[in-house]
Amino acid sequence: MSIRVQPISAADHLGLIAARGSASFLQTPAWGRVKSEWRSESLGWYDGDTLVGAGLVLYRDLPRIGRSLAYLPEGPVLDWASPSATSMLEPLVSYVASRGAFAVRIGPTIAWRRWGTETIKRAIADEHVTRLSDVEPDAIDPAATRLRGQLRHLGWLPQHSDEGFAAGQPEFNFQLPLAGRTREQLLAGMNQLWRRNIKKADKAGVEVTQGSREDLPAFHALYLETAARDGFRGRPLSYFETMWDALRAEDPDRIRLYLARHEGDLVAATTWIRVGTHAWYSYGASSNAKRDVRGSNAVQWRMITDALDAGATVYDLRGITEGLAADDPEIGLIQFKVGTGGEAVQYLGEWDLPVNRALYAAFRAYLDRARYLRAAKSLLRLPTRGVRMVRRRIGRTAPMESPPPHGEGPSSPPPDPEA
């Protein structure tokens, strides 16, 4: 098999994704327009005249050197379960090297291990268990295991972290399977607290509606309120406006905004993204006031049922860390998501291949120093729980009702890969 990689049009890129049924929204052509601080291009993998794969490549230059990191967040879109999947990577590396890349980073979207709700609950209740990876999974994909070994053998370097988050995209995610299930079955699969809170929100008169672009400022104000409460750095309104415009220009139903109101007051707001059969909870925010009306549960239930109605087979609540100890600062986030009745999914994470080893070593040294400085700043910013948080993970703390948004990585130039 002789594979070549070359630039392709956005139409061909989207056609390949449509043929596959889905792909990460971070691998759509539109995402390159969202991440305007990166150069981007769509690449196609050809076997003869047949397009067999596609990928969005983001390039970020090192200052004063003119060499770049080539990053494919949650990509490329290939048949990762194929025994010959790694043979598709050599032409990618050759191409981006010709474009001046000193390293390439990929994120294979193949699930390696899965843990069901009951398994996670038992692990949380066991005081001797502190990490999800120490728990026997309910399922292991042999194709993913094989791919993991192949990547290591070929010199790719895993970017795993001790906390479960890679430098760019999360390695551990929480997903709710929707295929073949009714609303009644989904509700019955949730825990008692989730069912009670959904019912309580309905009884209190919480109304969930879809918003428009004009509602983004209201969402953003609530998002900044959440950021101040939970100690993370919020993005500017312009980021969400760009995201809205780019994704909806590609597909009018690619992104939605949901608003939960109680007696006219905005109590929760979220963004929802869908590519084919996969839907994601992207960003979330909740008010400090009226938390007893359970607006966050109401808006989540609306997004889940709308994903089901749209034909999605997976509702993705995105990243979790793997800490299960009672004093883990992220345990509330995991418990919130476990309440939906879904499963924890571990992907293979992100992998680097140095093209220029000297430049790559300098890049890694810079990132290590940047993380240390951010950790120190976190200690000053969050004196009440900062020490414990920083020990657990480097980066921003995710609120229980607002999981870490996609692509939240370090951002100082030259930045960590960030979707």
| Mean of pLDDT values over 253-281 | 98
pLDDT for the residue 331: 92
The band of 411, judged by pLDDT with boundaries at 50, 70 and 90, is very low
283, 232, 287: which is closest to 34 by C-alpha?
283
Residue 121 contacts residue 324 (beta carbons within 8 Å):
no
pLDDT for the residue 20: 95
Question: Which domain-ending residue is among 312, 332, 364?
Answer: 312
Residue 225, in any domain of the structure: yes
pLDDT for the residue 412: 26
Cβ within 8 Å of residue 16, ≥6 positions away: 44, 51, 53, 54, 77
Residue 335, in any domain of the structure: no
Q: Are residues 257 and 356 in the same domain?
A: no
Q: Are residues 96 and 11 in the same domain?
A: yes
Range of the domain at 239: 179-312
Q: Which long-range contacts (CB under 8 A, 24 or more apart) does 233-240 make?
A: 233/396, 235/405, 240/216, 240/271, 240/283
Residue 158, in any domain of the structure: yes
Dump pLDDT digits (tens) for 229-248.
Answer: 988 899 999 999 999 999 99
Residue 411, in any domain of the structure: no
Question: Which whole-number Å values give the CA distances from 374 to 141, 353, 367, 378, 412, in the listed order?
Answer: 36, 26, 10, 6, 10
Residue 325, in any domain of the structure: no
Dump pLDDT digits (tens) for 349-380.
Answer: 999 999 999 999 988 887 777 666 665 555 45
Checking if the pLDDT of 146 tops 50, the result is yes
Q: Are residues 28 and 81 in the same domain?
A: yes
306, 257, 253: which is closest to 276 by C-alpha?
253
Residue 288 contacts residue 225 (beta carbons within 8 Å):
yes
Q: Are residues 361 and 296 in the same domain?
A: no
| Mean of pLDDT values over 217-224 | 98
Q: Are residues 297 and 356 in the same domain?
A: no
| Mean of pLDDT values over 105-115 | 97
| Mean of pLDDT values over 179-184 | 97
pLDDT for the residue 174: 97
CA 216/CA 405 separation, integer angstroms: 16
Q: Are residues 187 and 231 in the same domain?
A: yes
pLDDT for the residue 68: 95
The H or E element containing residue 3 is strand 3-7
CA 136/CA 139 separation, integer angstroms: 9
Of 99-103, 214-218, 341-345, 400-404, the range with the lowest mean pLDDT is 400-404
Residue 293 sits in a domain whose CATH number is 3.40.630.30
Q: Give the SS3 label for residue 231.
A: coil
Residue 342, in any domain of the structure: no
pLDDT for the residue 387: 38
Checking if the pLDDT of 162 tops 60, the result is no
Mean pLDDT of the chain: 88
Dump pLDDT digits (tens) for 12-67.
Answer: 999 999 999 999 999 999 999 999 999 999 999 999 999 999 999 999 988 888 89
CA 406/CA 275 separation, integer angstroms: 15
The band of 384, judged by pLDDT with boundaries at 50, 70 and 90, is very low
Could you tell me which residue, 159 or 189, shows the higher pLDDT? Answer: 189
pLDDT for the residue 28: 98
| Mean of pLDDT values over 252-274 | 98
Could you tell me which residue, 387 or 280, shows the higher pLDDT? Answer: 280
Residue 413 contacts residue 63 (beta carbons within 8 Å):
yes
Q: Are residues 66 and 206 in the same domain?
A: no
Edge-first strand order for the sheet with 68-72 is 3-7, 39-47, 50-61, 68-72, 101-106, 351-354, 157-158
Q: Are residues 206 and 294 in the same domain?
A: yes
| Mean of pLDDT values over 256-282 | 98
Q: How many domains does the chain have?
A: 2
Residue 324, in any domain of the structure: no
Percent of all residues in the chain with a pLDDT value above 90, rounded to a whole number: 79
Checking if the pLDDT of 391 tops 70, the result is no
Question: Which domain-ending residue is among 293, 312, 331?
Answer: 312
371, 328, 398, 391: which is closest to 132 by C-alpha?
328
Which segment, 160-164, 229-233, 253-257, 367-371, is predicted with the most confidence on average?
A: 253-257
Q: Are residues 149 and 195 in the same domain?
A: no
Q: Are residues 183 and 164 in the same domain?
A: no
Checking if the pLDDT of 383 tops 70, the result is no
Q: Are residues 149 and 222 in the same domain?
A: no
- Indicate the DSSP class of residue 27: G
- Indicate the DSSP class of residue 143: H
pLDDT for the residue 382: 46
Q: Are residues 150 and 187 in the same domain?
A: no
